[in-house]
Amino acid sequence: PVDMADRNPVIVVVGAGVAGLAAAKKLKEYGFNDVTVLEASEKVGGRVATATLGTACVDTGAQYIHGTSEENPVYCLLKKSGLLNQIPEMGEETFYSNKGHKVDVNIARDAYGAGESMIRYRGSNTGKSLGEHYAEKTQGVIDSVQDDDKRTRMQSVFALVGKDMLIDIGASDLHRISLDSWQYYINMGDSLNIPGYDSLMFQLVDKLLEDFPKDRLLLKREVSKIKWDGSFSVAPALCQYPVCIVCENGEEILADHVIVTISLGCLKAQASSLFIPSLPTEKMEVIEKLCFGNIAKIFLEYEEAFWESDVGTISLIYEDDIPASVSTNKMQWLKNMQYFSVLRPKERLMLYQTIVTFSVIIKKIIVISSSSSSIVIIAVNGAKSLGSQHPNKDLQVLFAGEATMKTLYGTVQGALLSGHREADRLAAHYKKTVAPTSTTSVEKQV
């Protein structure tokens, strides 16, 4: 048989989300010329997805750039392409009380800022949950306020901050989130909301695909088994490969390396049956212990806007809410319809929800979408690759995806950088180099 050292390594990427496409693009830049991407669905992008609502485009998946700084490769890529120039102003923030009156925006903003600084605290080795910490800190502030009206307003705004945090991290209970996990998280600056503007997020996917050969991107190729640490060959048996990827349609693809970028939810459901031999115990424990949340977006369309024309966001404040009671209690689901974004044209509203089941009887629901992202409950490292003791059989199974990024989980740039990380790992193994302009300082430190 031909020794692996004498031929080009064959690399298969499973999943054509941002992580998979970023890995494939980077591998091509390094000069790997036998890279194939397999995608189970009919389209690329993973949780970056769009749909048409009337004549407009809406983002049914990712729509936030988490960090408008040069450190963020997603922001840099969209900015360099000139795509960010077309985003209109978001409009004014507004706050309404459940008692039916508008809340002074400056008062609400001040209280919101105070709540946000408490909830973003970066603890280490406290052993506390985010909910426990936030309830304690906010109660201290509330107790120091003498004026009853001000105290009520402040605690209800603090509760709003807690609910918005549930949306940010896709969780259903702040008391199930580790406070200590924040110490690992890299804050890349202010977030930029880009819902539906010319499918900006999806143009990021197009950029990643730009130079990738279309015949090496195979859609509707669901993977049923990943056999590794073997010696697989095809006739005539000149080459032997350690990995064999079996598709649902019976097709078998042999490879030296496979980069698995399927979502944490898919891994949880399939890891025990997908890999032959089974994954090591420590890897299975990581997959089991990592949790993910569920965010639902509801797009509402009205005959005419019932809000003022300069409004960009509408937040609802419930005066009987307190920070300690923040959760997505199904009996109280209405209270979790607290944040609306105004889309263009202005007759469209987008509502965020963090509960899984609900019923909305409000004019006309056009699209309901949900996406899941991972939450670090305990500090785990899910990115270790698998190899074997056999010569030339290192790094057979590699893992990428936002859930493998302890520092940037739940973000598009986390997914992108995790793909780069695995491409870098293979490049280092084969002693390949690439022009330094394509890496950022963040990639080096992650």
Residue 12 CB-density burial (10 A; 0-12 exposed, 13-18 middle, 19+ buried): buried
Position 324: which residue type? Answer: A
What letter represents residue 12's amino acid? V
Query: Is 39 known to sit in a ligand binding site?
Result: yes
Neighbours of 4 (CB within 10 A): 17
The DSSP 8-state label assigned to residue 87 in this structure reads P
By 3-state DSSP, what share of the chain in percent is helix, strand and coil, each rounded to 5?
Answer: 35, 25, 40
Counting DSSP H helices and E strands in the chain, the numbers are 10, 19
- Residue 429, classed as helix, strand or coil, is helix
Of 188, 185, 93, 169, the closest CA to residue 131 belongs to 169
Question: Dihedral through CA 22, CA 261, CA 289, CA 244, nearest 10?
Answer: -140
136 is in an annotated binding site: no
Structural contact between residues 130 and 183, judged by C-beta atoms closer than 8 angstroms: no
User: How far is residue 212's CA from residue 32's CA, in Å, rounded to a whole number?
Assistant: 12
Q: Tell the burial category of 160 from Cβ atoms under 10 Å away from its Cβ (0-12, 13-18, 19+).
A: buried
Give the separation between CA 291 and CA 289, rounded to whole angstroms.
6
Task: Give every CB contact of residue 184 below 8 A, 6+ residues apart in sequence.
Answer: 376, 379, 406, 407
Secondary structure element (H or E) that encloses residue 116, with its range: helix 105-119
Q: Is 304 annotated as ligand-binding?
A: no
Radius of gyration of the chain from Cα atoms?
24
Query: Would you say 263 and 238 are in contact if contact means Cβ atoms under 8 Å apart?
Result: no
Q: Residues marked as binding for FAD?
A: 39-40, 223
Q: Residues marked as binding?
A: 39-40, 223
